[in-house]
Structure 1
Amino acid sequence: MRDALLAIRDRLDGYGVLLSGLCAVHCVVGLVLVTFLGLGGGVLLSPGVHRIGLALAVAIGIVTLGLSAMRHGRMGPALIGAGGLSLMAAGLVVSHGPAEALLTIPGVALVAFAHIRNLRDAH
């Protein structure tokens, strides 16, 4: 049972890294398409997309980073992840565009870094 839970936690850390990367790509590609080409603004920068992405990131981040902190007793990744999630949440309260990207991209980078540290600490 313990091995199964550890495998699930490792998968969640992997999904966290993937979601963080997808979020960063979404921010950069969205800005490029909207700014330079005038395409996709209604879909790519939709608040609904951001709410869903943030909800997934927060859920996976809280569960995985919390479980990892309890397992190996290292709070560093959890604190780094919490900082990243805070930046992402701040990105939701500013207007869509460059200000949002300046908060969200570093936020997802911190969350991804925290998940990678958890994967390293687990092995």
Structure 2
Amino acid sequence: MLDSFATRPLWDRLAIGLSGLCAVHCVATVLFVGALSSVGHLFAAPAVHEIGLALAVLLGAFALGTGALKHGMMLPTAIGSLGLGMMAGALNVPHGASEAFYTVLGVSTLALGHLLNQRAHLGLA
């Protein structure tokens, strides 16, 4: 039986939400920079990516780290860390479709780590 959204640990819900916002940001940047060239530089500013990654690392470290300490499973933390690494690597790719691809792949992998962390908290892993 599927667990309800309300029973999932708060930090994992926040981290998954942040991952989703990151994915939306990346796709929106690629799609709208051409159409919104007058303000497109704001969406593609390096600071947006760097701050987003810093927030993802802090939230991920806290949620996945406390989860590993609580339930003892390292797989969610390992998968989440892989996702964070892909996101960090995407910062070194020029803006465009490739950057968006690697970032979305990274946030999806990170979200999977948080989902596994939630399942481990609930004893479903």
TM-score range for the pair, normalised by the shorter chain length: 0.7 to 0.9
Matched residue type, 2:46:
P
Question: What amino acid does structure 2 have at the position aligned with 1:47?
Answer: P
More helix by share: 1
What CA distance in whole angstroms lies between the structure 2 residues aligned with 1:11 and 1:47? 29
Q: Indicate the percent of aligned positions where both proteins have the same amino acid.
A: 45
Aligned to 1:97: 96
Report the alpha carbon displacement of residue 17 of structure 1 after superposing the two structures with TM.
Answer: 0.3
- The two structures have a TM-score, normalised by structure 1, of 0.87
- 1:10 is displaced (CA, Å) by 2.1
1:13-47 superposed Cα distances (whole Å, 9 cap, x missing partner): 11100000000000011100014x24332111110
Aligned residue pairs: how many? 114
Deviation at 1:11, TM superposition (A): 1.5
Task: Give 1:68's aligned residue.
Answer: 67
Which residue in the other structure is 1:10 paired with?
A: 9
Q: Structure 2, unaligned stretches of length 5 or more? A: 1-7
Write the deviation string for residues 28-78 of structure 1: whole angstroms up to 9, x where unpaired. 11100014x243321111101001100000001111111111111111110
Q: Does 1:87 align with 2:86?
A: yes
The separation in 2 between residues aligned to 1:16 and 1:51, in whole angstroms, is 16
The CA RMSD measured in Å over matched residues stands at 1.4
Equivalent residue number for residue 56 of structure 1: 55
Query: TM-score under structure 2 normalisation?
Result: 0.85
Tell me by how many angstroms 1:103 deviates: 1.1
Within 2, Cα distance between the matches of 1:79 and 1:54? 17
Partner amino acid, structure 2, of 1:109: S
Q: List alignment gaps of at least 5 residues for structure 1.
A: 1-8
Q: Are 1:113 and 2:109 an aligned pair? A: no
After TM superposition, give the deviation of residue 86 of structure 1 in Å. 0.3
